Structure 1
Amino acid sequence: MRAIWKGSLSFGLVNVPVKLYSATEGHDVPLHQVHEKDGGRIHYERRCEVCNEVVQFRDIDKAYEEGGTRVMLTDDDLKTLPAERDREIEVVEFVPGDQVDPLMFDRSYYLEPDSTSPKSYVLLRRTLEATDRMAIVRFAMRQKTHLAALRVRDDVLVLQTLLWSDEVRDAEFDKLSASVKISEKELALSQQLVESFSGDFEPQDYVDDYQVQLRELIARKAESGTDVHEADVDDDAADDDTGGEVIDLMEALRRSVDRSRSSKKAGSTSTSASTASDDSDDSDNSKKTPAKKAAAKGSTSASKGSTPVKKAAAKKTPVKKAAAKKAPAARKSASASKAS
């Protein structure tokens, strides 16, 4: 894991240097938008509505709008705010855990001691365990002031950011205000049903069926070579926190592309040998070969085994060059057959 924030946790005169880590991560398969025609990635431009220029991210500021007035704020403006400069997690109070409504929980983070001795960290952890309390804290991160609950989980201090009170909506439903009569028999049967489904919650027993089926679908299409295109893998994708599963998936896709390319290349070699004496219609057909097919034939299969995805993408022959070289070759073979 990589720390996303560094600072200190303070309660009273005790100061605990800590690092902050994200405690959760998504498992969804990353799907990108591509062009239906050729599989190319879709990119969006940041365009100014006033001058119609494409704006680089470094030239973008923020602004607040109200009543037709727009107030621009630069990064330097935001850095002048005291909360932005503060690197301290301040304990405000200690409360019983059941007083914090789970509806208010937002994001979860792990706290790691960032000092040579974890004594102050362990002291706070044991204090929370002994008193069966939760610490309510405030801190600033990413240009926002956060309210959070600090608790213990498996000997680790966990920080869970909370929604502010005005961010939680009231549930106001007229239908629930009407009087509804429930008989004792209905209630008893309902309770009996609950008992029949009762058990202990084991998170690992539950699986995201949709993501499993999506991965199986991708694997089947990759294995069959259906709708499989070569894709350049940029550095950002290689360093993504989604990690091994995504890289393994890309490796499976790469091997499928290589296998598909090899079979197509073998088939095209035997076909061209048997039809080299045909008329110029064959030459016209070779000119009309789709770019996707030309790229598959023209690319070498130098990347095998455990070659990284990025290297395989870098060595592929450009589509245009492959197409340009194949057409003259076809004309040459056709003219040679006529001369003989």
Structure 2
Amino acid sequence: MALRDTPSACPALWRCLPCPPAELRLDLVLPSGQTFRWRESSPGAWTGVLAGRVWTLRQDRDRLWYTLYGAGEDGRPAEAAKPGGAETDQILRDYFQLDVGLPALYRAWGAADPLFRKVADDFPGVRVLRQDPVECLLSFICTSNNHISRITAMIERLCQAFGRRLCHLDAQPFHAFPSLSALTGADAEARLRALGFGYRAKFVSGSAQAIAEGLGAEGLRRLRAVPYAEARRVLCTLPGVGAKVGARTGRGRGAGPVAGADGAARQQVADCVCLMALDKAEAVPVDTHVWRIAQQRYGMALGGRSLTPRAHQEIGDFFRGLWGPRAGWAQAVLFCADLRKGQEPAGSRGRARGAQGLDSCG
């Protein structure tokens, strides 16, 4: 099946939503370490897997365009891609949380914080994704001591090995994210190690097993309805949620404070999942980027080079006091700006934020 990268190619197979760049910038949000399943398939066009379907997205001045691909042997497009796709419209609205008005939030954050105001004009449309909790959790377990390009390749190998094939586009296969059952087989850890996951293989298969035998996927999703502190506590009981691996912390930058305690790293991965999958907009994941921003730009006297659980909590509380109940969203803007400034040096959020040494979360 051929990739469709513009609405002018088969216009009947594209739909659009009203969405100006001030509300969403695909080029700032999709490659910034919140998710690892999208690629820029041609200039301005982003192709990836969402909700078990393959999509291409692009924007013009005031619209978000999308098309879907089906797996039919004759290459027919997915039925939902045809006009009248209210269901697929809603999938995108939910994923990008388009019910949250971003310009008003930018104004409020800028009024409260002159430093934010200086950055905001160059980075409009940065918003937090609302992802599937299982996919988000298992993806961020892979982010320790890692950078975005490598994490993306790892997640692709994971999906190809364990996920359901959805379709081929220009001879490239696309797969769904694996089910819990696919990752809990007796040989799952060994297969993951063979795919290059190293020590993360144990954590991915272990967390999948713990969820399958405990909360289940729906139970994990129901954490959206509990308070932030409770959701974070539950996540921190899972294998590999920020497990201490003796690495530098940071969403992907090489240099940074060494995580001084397993608890701080656990909070970091758990906060990424809370923010990007469990509706906890107040969650502020603290990695190398945010640690440095707090000290160098906001003058926080954290002391030493260790990112301890106490320092993690102090930084989060500081930004919640400054930016309010959507502090995690405001932090995503500064994180994106910091990431762009560094253009993903080795080991950076590029490390997608999560465990030690990571850089990804918002």
Q: With structure 2 as the length reference, what TM-score do the two structures score?
A: 0.19
Greater relative contact order (Cα < 8 A, sep 6+): 2
Which of the two has higher C-alpha Rg? 1
